[in-house]
Amino acid sequence: DLLSIQALPSPHTAEYIKDSLDRIITKWGLNERVFCIITDNGANIKKAIRLMDNITQLSCAAHTLQLSVLKDLKLITQFIKRTKNLILFFVQSPKQSERLKDAQEKCHYSKIHQIITDVPTRWNSSYLA
């Protein structure tokens, strides 16, 4: 259940967030019942929870996973860009596509593979390409 939505004017200091959370918890008579608050990984919100008595802060798993994925995607951005350029090289040149097919046949592949292109509207197309 949703207890409160509240706009907090700047600055969003840990102390200010803590005081706001304390008011909400007190308003609902939950002082003895709240023992954990799940938040994003912002330094100010994490510190706000640390300042509260007998309350533990847990990081949101979905938010943490998203941050990890975005960090790793940044690491492979250059690789993805180069791979897309290589795919484009073959897709835009029938002659090079034919050479790729011939090379596969020469290596006696049991199946001739086609170039798969990245389609932004398909979430797994970068993976498949």
Q: Could you read off the pLDDT tens digit of each residue along the chain, which spans 129 residues?
A: 788 898 999 999 999 999 999 999 999 999 999 999 999 999 999 999 999 999 999 999 988 888 888 888 888 888 888 988 999 999 999 999 999 999 999 999 999 988 888 776 665 666 665
The angle subtended at Cα 91 by Cα 85 and Cα 92, nearest 5°, is 90
Task: Say how far apart CA 20 and CA 56 lie, in whole Å.
Answer: 17
Whole-model pTM over 0.85: no
Closest CA to 13 of 37, 38, 47, 39: 47
DSSP string, 15-45: HHHHHHHHHHHHHTT-TTT--EEEE-S-HHH
